């Protein structure tokens, strides 16, 4: 079973299209999405429509819940709240209904999936050793998948010892020993200094995870952000991957 794991697309249509094109070169058996289809970016409806069609499993993220009016926007940073309000107005009913039917957690083919973390599937960033250890203690599957932080990560616990960390493009995790917490990074708003769109190729039989990156036309998404008068900082950060 080979799975493409994508996350945090954030209404960045060009990034999503580039990732799906790269995935299609050697099509996986499944495609899973860990949530945050919308928010920040300029093409929420197109992204939701493609995800509906192309993924076998999809979680809901905090930005999707914000777009549905289910999260208090006071909990959001200013740019995030602004784009959440814009997204609320832009989403058509069919796409809103799709997002409303999703959960922030799932289990599939022996893996456990969370948008954010097992302790708090909507909000918690697994970016500290304590949070990573807690996430692996609260789960039992060999592979645990999280998104939300927009950082590609491969963290393992082996005989009680925690190891690993950031997983740059092209790196591979050998999952044969220990239990693993993997974050594919973000398709549409990477924050690890590499502006390329990120995802994981996960082979559950061979027990390996390959961290992939692909260039996409950042300037097209930036132009769309500006056309829609979304905050300039949201366009600018895409070029730097922060």
Smallest gap from Cβ 9 to Zn ion, in A, equals 9
How many residues bind to Zn ion according to rule CB under 5 A? 2
The closest residue (CB) to Zn ion is 36
SS (H, E, C) 52-110: HHHCCEECCCHHHHHHCCCCCHHHCCHHHHHHHHHHHHHCCHHHHHHHHCCCCEEEECC
Confirm or reject binding of residue 224 to Zn ion (CB under 5 A): no
Closer CB to Zn ion, 17 or 36, in the complex:
36
CA atoms of 186 and 37, how far apart (whole Å): 10
Among 4, 8, 106, 185, binds Zn ion (CB under 5 A): 8
CA atoms of 11 and 153, how far apart (whole Å): 22
Q: Which stretch binds Zn ion (CB under 5 A): 7-15, 88-96, 130-138, 232-240?
A: 7-15
Q: Is 63 exposed, middle or buried (0-12, 13-18, 19+ CB in 10 A)?
A: buried
Confirm or reject binding of residue 36 to Zn ion (CB under 5 A): yes
Residues 54-113 contacting Zn ion, CB under 5 A: none
In this structure, the chain runs to a length of 242
> Cα–Cα–Cα angle for 13, 79, 189, nearest 5°?
35
Confirm or reject binding of residue 124 to Zn ion (CB under 5 A): no
Q: Which stretch binds Zn ion (CB under 5 A): 2-10, 112-120, 138-146, 215-223?
A: 2-10
Smallest gap from Cβ 63 to Zn ion, in A, equals 6
Confirm or reject binding of residue 17 to Zn ion (CB under 5 A): no
| 87 contacts 57 by C-beta, under 8 angstroms | no
3-class secondary-structure state, position 166: strand
Closer CB to Zn ion, 5 or 156, in the complex:
5
Confirm or reject binding of residue 192 to Zn ion (CB under 5 A): no
Closer CB to Zn ion, 6 or 20, in the complex:
6
Smallest gap from Cβ 157 to Zn ion, in A, equals 25
| 82 contacts 1 by C-beta, under 8 angstroms | no
Residue of 4, 10, 45, 1 whose CA lies nearest to 216: 10
Closer CB to Zn ion, 194 or 203, in the complex:
194
Smallest gap from Cβ 147 to Zn ion, in A, equals 7
Residue of 20, 92, 91, 93 whose CA lies nearest to 50: 20
Q: Which stretch binds Zn ion (CB under 5 A): 28-36, 117-125, 158-166, 232-240?
A: 28-36
Which residues are near Zn ion by CB under 5 A? 8, 36
């Amino acid at each position: 079973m080979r799975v493409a794991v994508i996350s945090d697309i954030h209404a960045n249509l060009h990034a999503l299209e580039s990732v799906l094109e790269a995935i299609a070169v050697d099509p996986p058996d499944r495609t899973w999405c860990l949530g945050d289809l919308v928010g920040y970016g300029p093409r929420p409806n197109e992204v939701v429509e493609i995800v509906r069609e192309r993924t076998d499993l999809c979680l809901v993220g905090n930005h999707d819940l914000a777009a549905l009016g289910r999260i208090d926007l006071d909990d959001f940073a200013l740019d995030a709240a602004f784009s959440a309000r814009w997204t609320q107005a832009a989403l058509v009913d069919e796409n809103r209904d799709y997002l409303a039917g999703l959960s922030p957690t799932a289990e599939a083919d022996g893996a456990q999936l969370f948008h954010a973390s097992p302790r708090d599937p909507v909000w918690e960033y697994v970016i500290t050793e304590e949070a990573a250890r807690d996430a692996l203690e609260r789960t039992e599957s060999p592979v645990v998948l999280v998104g939300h932080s927009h950082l590609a990560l491969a963290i393992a616990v082996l005989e009680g010892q925690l190891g690993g960390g950031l997983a740059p493009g092209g790196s591979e995790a050998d999952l044969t020993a220990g239990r693993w917490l993997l974050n594919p990074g973000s398709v549409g708003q990477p924050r690890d200094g590499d502006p390329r769109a990120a995802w994981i190729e996960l082979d559950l039989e061979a027990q390996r995870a390959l961290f992939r990156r692909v260039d996409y036309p950042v300037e097209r998404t930036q132009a769309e952000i500006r056309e829609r008068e979304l905050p300039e900082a949201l366009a600018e950060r895409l070029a730097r991957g922060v």
